[in-house]
Amino acid sequence: MNLKVTGLHLEVTPALREFLESKLERITRHVDHVIDVTVTLSVDKLVQKAEVNVHLSGKDIHVEATDSDMYAAIDALMDKLDRQVLKHKEKQSEHRATPQVQPEASL
């Protein structure tokens, strides 16, 4: 998994990067094929905004969240991303063929 973290009008500190990496572990537990993750953190006046683009095999997911605190915005972002990834995983598993159950022969 390639992780790219950028900050617009703010410096990405090692604490923020570590917090993001720990939260992204939750996503990688659900899906094995995470190819690329791009996180953009920005500040506009009093609004802290976090955006993420996740490139999975067969799907690109974009999620964004805003809050007055950057850590709270990242938490909300990861909750939204987790729901989207689980939704994508369920759709993938629904398209697979279900095995036909053969009736057992009575003795």
Domain assignment present for residue 43? The answer is: yes
Query: Which tokens go with 55?
Result: 């490139």
Q: Which domain holds residue 31?
A: 2-89
Evaluate whether residue 97 is within a structural domain. no
- Residue type at 98 in one-letter notation: T
User: Is residue 20 a part of any domain in this protein?
Assistant: yes
Report residue 27's pLDDT band, with 50, 70 and 90 as the boundaries: confident
Helices (H), the chain: 14-30, 70-94
Q: For position 97, what pLDDT does the model report?
A: 61
In a domain, 95, yes or no: no
Q: Summarize the confidence of residues 85-96 as an average pLDDT.
A: 80
CATH code of residue 8: 3.30.160.100
CA distance 80 to 49: 14
Confidence band of 81 (pLDDT split at 50, 70, 90): very high
Whether 15 is covered by a domain: the verdict is yes
Total domains in the fold of the chain: 1
pLDDT top residue among 10 and 93: 10
| Nearest CA-CA partner of 24 in 81, 73, 62 | 81
**Amino acid letter, residue 68:** S
Q: CA-to-CA distance for 13 and 97, rounded, in angstroms?
A: 47
Per-residue pLDDT band at 100 (split at 50, 70, 90): low
pLDDT digits (tens, 9 = 90+) for 50-67: 999 999 888 899 999 999
* 3-class secondary structure, 80: helix
What does the DSSP 8-state code read for residue 46? T
Residue 104 resides in a domain: no
What's the chain's average pLDDT? 88
